[in-house]
Amino acid sequence: MTSFLQGIAYNFKGLKFGLRNAKLFLLGLARLVIIIVITVAAAAMVLVNYEQILNLMWHQPESAWIAWLWYVVSWLLALVLVALSALVGFLVAQLLFSVFIMDVMSQITERKTTGQVRSSGNKMGWFAYLFYLLRQEIPRATIPVLVSLLLMVLGWFTPLGPVLTIISPLAAGLFLAWDNTDLVPARRLEPFGQRFGFLRRHTLFHLGFGVLFLIPLLNIVLLAFAPVGATLYYVEEIDPKATEQPPQEPTKKNEE
């Protein structure tokens, strides 16, 4: 339970830290705007072509006895298409833009907290490092989606629907939290299996960190600055030696 409450605390700690720093504030705002614009654009494209998509699946029947069913199906189809397009838009924004912004926010936070950024990626070229970040984001972005879809299907076709109604959003929050806490170990080129093991060992923390992402409106603000709180947690709790400044070499005056 302590780890769960710690996750909630670090989420707000990251928000406070980010709002006090001009660079972090602008980057968090930029990430938020990019995700909203791309997600809304994807949903708008579906709505514009909605009638053509519906006609390809089922033309409006002439019989009034069947027409009501057509209207019900059309509304359900619209909701499903908008939801899927919004999800795709979010993934595109996350993969192409947000992963880089999140890493920069994490590096700024680590540097301000520890005085340096420990990154094995510095040995790579700039393009190689960006490609590496993108490659790391693919499993972090796809695994939550696959798990959420699996839980949704199980809820539809099994008697576990009421239970999965609670588990599904919690799982989504947990993976959203991991998407942020994984920034530091991914930057240090730790293997994926080792990083996924970190998620398993600190499940309660990630649940506490991610449960706030389920609150409408508040989640928009917290998600924008989540990389800050997650990085603070990692360098302060998981790798506390990172916050220790390296010993300075003695000067000639001290030697005398």
* Integer CA distances (angstroms), 63 to 56, 66, 70, in order: 19, 6, 10
For the chain, the domain total comes to 1
Q: Is residue 249 part of a domain?
A: no
Give 19's pLDDT tier (boundaries 50, 70, 90). Answer: very high
d(C-alpha 213, C-alpha 86), whole Å:
17
Q: What is the pLDDT of residue 65?
A: 67
Q: Is residue 256 part of a domain?
A: no
Residue that wins the pLDDT comparison between 244 and 203: 203
Q: Is residue 208 part of a domain?
A: yes
Q: Is residue 255 part of a domain?
A: no
Give 227's pLDDT tier (boundaries 50, 70, 90). Answer: very high
Predicted TM-score (pTM) of the model is 0.71
Q: Is residue 228 part of a domain?
A: yes
List b or e across 176-198, with b for residues whose CB sees 16 or more CB atoms inside 10 angstroms: bbbbbbbbbbbbeeeeeeebeeb
Q: Is residue 9 part of a domain?
A: yes
H or E element in which residue 105 lies: helix 99-114
> What's the whole-number mean pLDDT along residues 73-88?
68
Q: Is residue 254 part of a domain?
A: no
Chain centroid to Cα 108, Å, comes to: 18
Q: Is residue 251 part of a domain?
A: no
Q: What is the DSSP letter of 125?
A: -
Q: What integer best gives the mean pLDDT of the chain?
A: 77
- Is 14 within 8 Å of 49 (Cβ atoms)? no
Residue 238, token pair as written in the block: 């998981």
Residue 49 belongs to domain spanning: 2-240
Q: What is the pLDDT of residue 208?
A: 93
- Spatial CB neighbours of 256, under 8 Å, sequence gap ≥ 6: none
Q: What is the largest CA-CA distance in the chain?
A: 101
